Structure 1
Amino acid sequence: MAAVNARSVAKALNCSTQPIFSYFSGMDDLKNALDQKAHDVFEQTVSEEAKDCPALEGSSNAYVRFATEQPRLFAHMFLREDGGMQSFGSELAREPMITAEASEKGLDSEKAKRVCEDVMLYAHGLAAMQATGRTNFTQPQIAQRVHEMHEMLLKK
């Protein structure tokens, strides 16, 4: 996103910079709109994937899928030095996720919170490696790894 400027956006849209500045009050306004769109794309990816399996695993798989399919957007959102947008952990560490994990697995809230945090840390590592090209796992391989880690953490 650091490379985003009015000229690069105008070039991508095949227009002059005038329409951009007539719609946005300045570059900060444009970057905020782009950040919001990135967040919306992320939320859509997570919500689509999360409905197919247990909440924690579904959300974790979607997070890694997002990193695989949108590596630059993922890096902008989650790998920036300034922390970027909200971390994946804060995205998933909402009370509903912990409550769902406790209910699905029959855990007390502290154990559910710990399992959620640890699975999210694992998923973030996988996602970062996928986004940076260090690994090239398929979605089924990712789902299997997340599931196995989840199961190991439940036994801990």
Structure 2
Amino acid sequence: MPKQKITKEMVVNAAFEIARSSGMEQVMVKNIADKIGCSVQPIYSYCNNMDGLRQDVIEKVNCFIQEYVTNHIDINDLFRSSGHAYIRLAKEEPHLFKIFILHQRSGISSLDDLYQSETNPGIAQFISEKLHISLAKAKQLHLNMLIYTIGIGTIFSVTMPGISTDEIYTQQEIAYEAFLKQALDCRTSVF
């Protein structure tokens, strides 16, 4: 029987599946070899170091999350549904959510940098038009909800047996209403 050719893609996919089911801390050469069904030698040939492999897994996680959120957004309620999508992701894929939230981000020295790197620029424009507020206020509202959703999503993903999704969505709505009121109050005070 001919030997199976182990590819880098197979290694990254196996590492991703391990991270997805057990967390990034379980992404180890032996576990990857066991998952693929080979010795550790082919794994070492593709991984000069585990940091490079983990970075490949993080990139795969980011692609997965982008696709997941896109598939769970209601185009008629883009802003609210995107927040709900991240909470749903935290519930259904807690290990991937943690990897997404906790991975090191370089080049970020302000919340504006974080906002620019983590969001779709069209959402602020959508919020601005939908709520009749300035683009700056829309970005601030979006940033506030991004920070809040990351925080509550993290809490949601690490609690056992778990907080109900309805309770989390209710808290998101309360935060949204408070942040929206702030944006609208600022809008009226400018005139």
1:124 matched to 2:124? The reply is no
> Where is the helix percentage greater, Structure 1 or Structure 2?
2
- Contact 1:61–1:142 under 8 Å retained in 2: no
Give the Å deviation of 1:52.
5.2
Q: What's 2:69 paired with?
A: 46
DSSP 3-state at the match of 2:163? coil
2:56 to 33, 43, 58: 33
Alignment of 1:1-156 (within 5 A): 1-22=24-45, 24-26=46-48, 27-51=50-74, 53-79=76-102, 82-83=104-105, 89=115, 90-92=117-119, 94-133=120-159, 135-138=162-165, 140-156=166-182
TM-score normalised over the length of structure 2: 0.66
| Mean Cα deviation higher: 5-14 or 144-153 | 144-153
- Contact 1:67–1:130 under 8 Å retained in 2: yes
User: Unaligned regions of 5+ residues in structure 1, if any?
Assistant: none
Q: How far, CA to CA, are the matches of 1:66 and 1:13 in structure 2?
A: 26
Q: How far, CA to CA, are the matches of 2:87 and 2:145 in structure 1?
A: 12
Letter aligned with residue 36 of structure 1:
E
Q: How far, CA to CA, are the matches of 2:157 and 2:105 in structure 1?
A: 16
Give the Å deviation of 1:83.
4.9
Q: Look at both structures and tell me which one has the larger radius of gyration over its CA atoms.
A: 2
Letter aligned with residue 77 of structure 1:
F
Give the Å deviation of 1:38.
0.8
DSSP 3-state at the match of 1:107? coil
DSSP 3-state at the match of 2:72? helix
Q: How far, CA to CA, are the matches of 2:148 and 2:52 in structure 1?
A: 34
User: Unaligned regions of 5+ residues in structure 2, if any?
Assistant: 1-23, 183-191
CA distances 1:75-126 after superposition (whole Å, capped 9, x unpaired): 222135x459x9984422x421211111121111111011101111211121
Overall identity of the aligned pairs, in %? 24
Q: How far, CA to CA, are the matches of 2:105 and 2:167 in structure 1?
A: 28
Q: Taking structure 1 as reference, are residues 48 and 74 closer, same or farther at Cα in structure 2, changes over 3 Å only?
A: same
Higher RCO, 1 or 2 (CA under 8 Å, sep at least 6)?
1
- Contact 2:61–2:99 under 8 Å retained in 1: no
How many residues are paired up? 151
